[in-house]
Amino acid sequence: MKFVEYIWLEGSGSDRIVRSRSRLLPLIDANPRLEDFPVWSLASASVVQLPDDAQGALLLPVCHARDPLRDGDHHLVLCEVFGSDGREHASNTRAELRAVLDAGARRQQVWMAFDQPCSLRWIDDESNSAGASQGCDPVGPRGLSAHDVAELHALQCLQAGLSFCGIEAAAEPWQWQFSIGPRNQRRDEPPMIQAADQLWLARHLLQRIAADAGAIVHFGSWQGRSRGAIHGSLRTRFSTAATRGQGGPRAVAAALDRLQARRDEHLRVYGCAVPRREHDGELRADGVHAGATGQIEELRARGDADPYRVAARISATVLDIADELMSFDPPSPRSLAAVA
């Protein structure tokens, strides 16, 4: 018997949270396939937030990884949430990204990677709340520094088999950044949706590791000791077959024009963006010069933005996919059978 932790998302915007529930499954293969993890039916509204008239929810596995925090061959399974009638739950923003892929992004071979900012706040063990004095200490109450937590998180992500690309220290000792994708990705899923899936798994692992170290993780804004509030951006790096081809510079320029033209729509999806004016509307094209191709960096999203919505909005704009082909709020209903 193996422990399998089913993971799903609830809420929207900055209130989006990761929920999980574990079960034991008789998995025989040491390297199970996604099909080996069954759909889990949950009847309790306290487990998944559902409308009053809903009869329950279904957790459909869409991505799995090794569980590095349990000894043995155990697994993490990321799920989409559906109602008992097989229709997508309102919180299922991964469905938006699937709709964009079906509308043309899959053919255009969109690649994406995310640079995730994060900060740690040490927990005051006596009051079980974030201590103001401890929040600025480089070493927490259990003897671990933010550096220790960042290093441990990196190792655990690698053990889980995620497309982890590196970590970087930031201005404050408790402020770090890690990068996800694209590397070591499966061929059965587009790189864009894999990167978003794995960012959610990496966020979940960091929250679990930080809790064991006596800390709380913030992916959005945090309070600096000397400079006031600091606002992190979820840096999204992306390219398409066109930007990577021979006409890359022209394709990048066209993509930048489209992204700037739909600025307000993007900021709404990104969670109103970072409030600093110097970052408002910031886009950057890397490696673009005569005879070369490049990628685009999107810096406008909040650090705690939903990568599914960020990826869907960028792809729809750059590839000129009509908004009516997908739904950004809420997702369009689809049958569970069609997805599975």
Task: State residue 141's pLDDT score.
Answer: 63
pLDDT digits (tens, 9 = 90+) for 50-68: 554 456 789 999 999 999 9
- The most confident of 90-104, 181-195, 267-281, by mean pLDDT: 90-104
Q: Residue 258: pLDDT band by 50, 70, 90 thresholds?
A: very high
Asked if residue 137 lies in contact with residue 213, where contact means CB atoms within 8 angstroms, the answer is no
d(CA 200, CA 206): 10
Place of tokens 């992204």: 259
Residues 129-147 have a mean pLDDT of 60
Task: State residue 271's pLDDT score.
Answer: 78
The packing angle between helices 248-261 and 307-318, to 10°, is 110
Task: State residue 131's pLDDT score.
Answer: 43
Domains with residue ranges and CATH for the chain: 2-92 (3.10.20.70), 98-108+233-325 (3.30.590.10), 112-231 (3.30.590.10)
Residues 34-61 have a mean pLDDT of 75
Residues 312-319 have a mean pLDDT of 95
Task: Output b/e per residue, 128-153; b: 16+ Cβ within 10 A.
Answer: eebbeebbbeeebbeebbbebbbebb
Task: State residue 134's pLDDT score.
Answer: 45
Task: State residue 129's pLDDT score.
Answer: 42
Give the 3-state DSSP-derived string for 204-253, with helices as H, strands as E and coil as C: HHHHHHHHHCCEEEECCEEEECCCEEEECECEEEEECCCCCCCCHHHHHH
**In the chain, where does DSSP find H-type helix?**
94-100, 146-160, 191-212, 248-261, 263-269, 307-318, 336-339
Asked if residue 154 lies in contact with residue 59, where contact means CB atoms within 8 angstroms, the answer is no
CB count within 10 Å of CB 49 equals: 16
pLDDT digits (tens, 9 = 90+) for 158-188: 999 999 999 998 877 788 999 998 765 666 7
Q: Among residues of the chain, what percentage have pLDDT more than 70?
A: 75
Task: State residue 183's pLDDT score.
Answer: 67
Residues 116-134 have a mean pLDDT of 64
CA dihedral 121, 122, 123, 126 (to 10 degrees): -140
Q: Residue 205: pLDDT band by 50, 70, 90 thresholds?
A: very high
Lowest mean pLDDT among 135-139, 231-235, 292-296, 298-302: 135-139
3-state DSSP assignment of residue 79: strand
Reference 184, options 195, 200, 197, 196; nearest CA is 195
Place of tokens 């994708």: 181
pLDDT, the chain, mean: 82
| Res 49 pLDDT > 90 | no
Residues 121-135 have a mean pLDDT of 53
Residues 266-273 have a mean pLDDT of 78
